[in-house]
Chain A
Amino acid sequence: GESVGLHLPTLSVQEGDNSIINCAYSNSASDYFIWYKQESGKGPQFIIDIRSNMDKRQGQRVTVLLNKTVKHLSLQIAATQPGDSAVYFCAENRYSGGGADGLTFGKGTHLIIQP
């Protein structure tokens, strides 16, 4: 079946540097993409989302880029901090507009911030 997957299982960056986490998706019907952060022992936490009619969206220190041509999604975190250390998941959804749908998650990338 179609699925969302990640290129790199582990990413290590120096504190203060920028990090980029990548994600490939295969379901061309997906029209809504989300990044979640999961810290050890906790549930996933929403970071940022983007709809398929956009190619970029910015939040506080985070930017999500969407390239529909190659079905690629990325999360950029600027000026990384120790608190950014976590597993990051991309997820996709087919937003119906009339109600919520369940998410399909990628396998996750473990981001490690080196002091």
Chain B
Amino acid sequence: DAGVIQSPRHEVTEMGQEVTLRCKPISGHNSLFWYRQTMMRGLELLIYFNNNVPIDDSGMPEDRFSAKMPNASFSTLKIQPSEPRDSAVYFCASSRPLRGAGEQYFGPGTRLTVT
């Protein structure tokens, strides 16, 4: 099992640029989650999907953030335009909903730096 795959692992961009983060969940998992981690705010849920359908996007900070899941094996998180305060580690996680809602498997994260 390859685990959750995220790309890129590191991203450095200038303020105002568009950033796209990518995630491939574990095969067979029906739920996908995007989290953001910062020193100040800890781990925060941004959005999650069940069976490719967005369920709760109340954690998305602003309209600059958008997420898609066009199929069961791929999701993107886009920030446009990016700002320095978006600098954080972004994690993608996946789970099998019938196995227990908490047993989410996290990817290695994408460290985003916006200058």
Where the two chains meet, the residues of A that have a C-beta atom closer than 8 Å to any C-beta of B are: 32-34, 41-46, 49, 89, 91, 93, 95-96, 98-108
Contact = CB atoms under 8 A, between A and B. Distances in A.
A43 B30 CA distance: 19
A93 B106 contact: no
Would you call the interface of chain A mostly helix, strand, loop, or mixed?
Answer: loop
Interface string B56-96: 10010000000000000000000000000000000101011
Contacts of B4: 43
B43 A102 contact: no
A66 B93 CA distance: 25
B106 A102 contact: no
Interface residues of B, number: 29
Interface of B: 4, 30-31, 33, 42-45, 48, 50-51, 55-56, 59, 91, 93, 95-97, 100-109
B33 A102 contact: yes
B97 A98 contact: yes
B104 A99 contact: no
Contact of B59 (A34, A102, A106): A102
Nearest to A43: B106
B91 A32 contact: no
Contacts of A108: 42-43
5 contacts: A32-B100, A43-B109, A95-B101, A98-B97, A102-B59
